[in-house]
Structure 1
Amino acid sequence: MRRLLVLGAGTAGTMVTNKLRRRLAPTDWDITVVEQRDRHFYQPGFLFIPFGAAPGKAVRPTRSTLRPGITLRRGQIDRVLPADNQVLLTNGERLRYDQLVIATGVEPRPDQTPGMRDPRRWRKNVFDFYTYEGAVALAGALRAFAGGRLVVHVTDLPIKCPVAPLEFAFLADAHFRQRGMRDRVELVYATPLAGAFTKPVAARHLGAMLDERKIALEPDFLVERVDDHRLISYDDREIPFDLLVTVPLNMGAEYVARSGLGDELNLVPVDRHTLLSRTWPNIFAIGDANDLPTSKAGSVAHFSVEVFADNFLQHVRGEPMTGRFDGHANCFVESGDGRGLLIDFNYDTEPLPGRYPVPGLGPFRLLRESPVNHWGKLAFRWMYWNLLLPGRPIPLPARMSMAGKHPEE
């Protein structure tokens, strides 16, 4: 009996174990998942909780998301011992493996920015929404906010879902307009990027949307510390705030560093097409846990896992892996007032205007706001729970296509 050990039962870990359980004979392969949490979170839902969405819709028991025939081991990982093909848990237990998949993602680390995690500020006038607890706490703060300067801030990249901070700014604008108090709120978007987004065409579109909503853009802002009611950058610029909604530095799990498997952000270096470790021939890192030069988004996990599953079967048979992940990502961008836009890109091609997934027909518009895009984002929650996590096929190609897109000058 061969042993596949998957570390992490988040989006990528759950998808890949469910897919592989369907394709690996139970008489030949034992599949075990290590996860310390007993709840699985639909993380795109965190964005809507501060604006009134029911928190319970973003949570399900972890066990319920895994297919029969998968062993769920509750525990905390101390380190990987790759030379021994073992994983050591903090309780002293050792788990052996023949193949290891690291899928423990990244997590917000407010402790990495001086002053951000100060108990006098944290969850009082400084909030995050990339965690379930943070999103719920921020909902209360927004209800109580009577006006002033609200700053939406990104500490550094990479982060999970890099469009989410922009979405929050757009939704905050709509939220305060609907409450009849937009004139009492100054909205500021502070980013370490030179513009609203990483890619030039998308940055122009998204930057124009900030301008239309009178959301001030503070580019090239690299925060050094949070001091009193101010963000202070390394070049001594200051951004005062009454309410700060920040995306802290995102880092991989600490056990990755203790195991000698990660870079300075605890991300596992992998081949960007096969997701295989650059150092160990039986270790893969999937989802947000690796150092792929693309968005840390659920769509990347989905498209890359589609390629990975076939590659893994070839790999364990001793054959060359023929699948090549191209960095494909697409993200709905909620823009407020029941509208949204969609971006679709990969390693080599930036987001472009057009229609998706059917050229000329859509129904989704690329880099253009529409109600259909908004409904597409809301419908994705059903797809996530019922199709993506169970590992069922979705009729969307893993490789990005240029069909339906048209370049801009």
Structure 2
Amino acid sequence: MKRLLVLGAGTAGTMVANRLRRRLPRDEWRITAVDESDKHFYQPGYLFIPFGTYAPDDVVRPRRRSLRAGVDLVRGTVDRVDTETDTVVLTDGRALPYDQLVIATGVTPRPDQTPGMLDGGQWRRSIFDFYTHDGAVALADALKAFDGGRLVVHIVDMPIKCPVAPLEFAFLADAYLRERGIRDRVELVYATPLPGAFTKPIASRTLGAMLDDRKISLEADFLVERVDDRTLVSYDEREIGFDLLVTVPLNMGADFVARSGLGDELNLVPVDRYTLLATGHRNIFAIGDANDIPASKAGSVAHFAVDVFVGNFLRHIAGQPMTGRFDGHANCFVESGGGRALLIDFNYDTEPLPGRYPVPRLGPFSLLAETAVNHWGKLAFRPVYWHALLPGRPVPLPAHMSMAGKRVPTAEE
């Protein structure tokens, strides 16, 4: 019996385990997923908890319910991967051998990596995050109590999970404060290490204009050095004071990746960007947020990558070349407030462009344009996630990005 071991049973790990359980003979392959938590979180839903759109329980399910019958679940924390013996060692001393290993342990926010962020009792009092379930719940209470002052939405550094989420939070905060009738008492600031609102020029112009329209100040190229007494201080000595800070801390991969000698300085696993095979290894893959591919760390990337990975993996274990090539395809709904949203669709080589998706001229979704249909598409994704993506059922979207329905805007646009 051969052993496939999947470290991490979040979005990417669950999809891999479920999809391969459908394809691998049960009398030949044992599939085991390892995770330290017995709960599966719908992480895109964290954005909506602070504004009351979702309740905390709306984004949580038992992890066992998300895994197909025939996938074993081991509760435990990984201490290290011993690549010499093809064994994963857990912190409680258990050793799990593998023939093929998939690392899907994602990234987590690390506020401890920014000097001063956890000092002075400010964490979860005047400094909050929404990239964790606990953080989003705590922020909901803080927003209800917030009655005016400077609200700063801040990114420590890239890459981060769902790089549009901080922008979404800023737009939703603007709408939320208007609904409460206190927007005129709040200065909203968006502080980012990027040179603009987003990483790609066309989308950056569109999203930057949206910040301007909402009177949200953009503080670009802001690389925070420390937090000092309700003040963000950058390496170039700029300062941004705050009454309420909503930050996206440095995102890092799991510590066992570093202990195992498998990662870079952020504990991300270097891989071939097309096959996701770990550099220098014959039987280790890293998928989802855990790897270093130059693509968004978003659920859509995990979904499209798994579509390509499954076929490649089956060829790989059969001793055949992996001919599938993941192109970095990502698409993300961007909530903009007031029941509207944008949609962006891009890959390694092509930036987000205007147009229609997924069917040219028909849509129903508009690219780089605010519509109510896009907003409802974002909300509709939650049941699709639970009932189609995670179980490994077919979703009628191509894994590779298509230029159909897209257009390159003119210089005047």
If the TM-score is normalised by the length of the shorter chain, which range does it land in?
A: over 0.9
The residue number in structure 2 matching 1:399 is 400
What is the CA–CA distance in structure 2 between the aligned matches of 1:320 and 1:229, rounded to whole Å?
A: 55
Q: Partners in 1 of 2:90 and 2:44 — Cα distance?
A: 30
2:222 partner amino acid:
F
Q: Residue 189 of structure 2 corresponds to which residue in structure 1?
A: 188
How big is each residue's C-alpha offset from its partner over 1:232-273, in whole Å with a ceiling of 9 and x where there is no partner?
Answer: 000100000000000000000000000000000000000000
The residue aligned with 1:27 is 27
Q: Report SS of the residue matched to 2:409.
A: coil
Q: What residue is the counterpart of 2:316 in the other structure?
A: 315
Where 1:406 maps in the other structure, the secondary structure is coil
- The residue that corresponds to 1:44 in the other structure is 44
- Give the TM-score of the pair, scaled to structure 1: 1.00
Pick which of 191-200 and 50-59 moved more: 50-59
> 1: distance between equivalents of 2:71 and 2:389?
17
Measured in 2, the distance between the counterparts of 1:289 and 1:206 equals: 27
1:158 aligned onto 2:159? yes
Q: Residue 122 of structure 1: CA displacement?
A: 0.2
Q: Tell me the distance in 1 between the aligned counterparts of 2:129 and 2:31.
A: 35
Partners of 1:119 and 1:16 lie apart in 2 by: 42
2:145 maps to which residue? 144
Distance 1:307 1:57 in 2: 30
SS of the counterpart of 1:84? coil
How is 1:360-375 mapped onto 2 (pairs within 5 angstroms)?
360-375=361-376
Aligned to 1:301: 302
Rounded Cα–Cα distance in structure 1 between residues aligned with 2:83 and 2:385: 33
Q: Does 1:331 align with 2:332?
A: yes
SS at match of 1:12: helix
Distance in 2 (CA, whole Å) between partners of 1:316 and 1:300 is 23
**2:200 aligned with 1:199, yes or no?**
yes
Shift of 1:57: 0.8
Q: Distance in 2 between matches of 1:284 and 1:192?
A: 30
Paired residue type of 1:66? L
* Distance across 2 between alignment mates of 1:117 and 1:262: 26
| Equivalent residue number for residue 123 of structure 2 | 122
Alignment correspondent of 2:98: 97
Distance apart, 1:25 and its partner CA: 0.7
Residue 342 of structure 1 and its aligned partner are, at CA, apart by 0.1
Q: How many Å apart are 1:279 and its aligned residue?
A: 1.1
Distance 1:311 1:161 in 2: 26
Letter in 2 for 1:237: R
How many angstroms apart in 2 are the aligned matches of 1:75 and 1:380? 30
Instruction: Give the C-alpha shift of residue 119 in structure 1.
Output: 5.2
Deviation digits for residues 291-313 of structure 1 (CA, Å, limit 9, x no counterpart): 00010000000000000000000
Q: Say if 2:251 is the partner of 1:250.
A: yes
What amino acid is the match of 1:149? R
Q: CA deviation at 1:117?
A: 1.5
Alignment partner of 1:281: what SS? Answer: coil
Tell me the amino acid that sits aligned with residue 10 of structure 2.
G
Runs of at least 5 residues in structure 1 that lack an aligned partner in the other structure: none
Q: TM-score, normalising length from structure 2?
A: 0.99
Determine the structure 2 residue equivalent to 1:210: 211
The residue matched to 1:5 in structure 2 has which SS?
strand
Q: Give the distance between the partners of 1:158 and 1:305, measured in 2 at CA.
A: 20
Matched, 1:380 2:381: yes
What CA deviation, in whole Å up to 9, does each residue of 1:102-145 have, x standing for no partner?
00000000000001122510000000000000000000000000
CA distance in 2 between counterparts of 1:106 and 1:118 reads: 23
Letter in 2 for 1:230: T
Distance 1:312 1:57 in 2: 34
Structure 1 segments of 4+ aligned residues over 2 angstroms from their partners: none
How far apart are the structure 2 equivalents of 1:11 and 1:71? 16
TM-fit CA distance, 1:44: 0.3
Q: Which residue of 2 aligns with 1:58?
A: 59
1:7 matched to 2:7? The reply is yes
1:225 deviation in Å? 0.3
Paired residue type of 2:42: Y
The offset of 1:9, in angstroms, is 0.3
- Separation in 2 of the partners of 1:42 and 1:389? 11
1:233 corresponds to: 234
Between the aligned partners of 2:238 and 2:396, the Cα distance in structure 1 is 48
The SS at the match of 2:84 is: helix
How many angstroms apart in 2 are the aligned matches of 1:272 and 1:408?
Answer: 29
| 1:76 counterpart residue number | 77
Per the TM alignment, residue 83 of structure 1 is displaced from its structure 2 partner at its CA by: 1.1
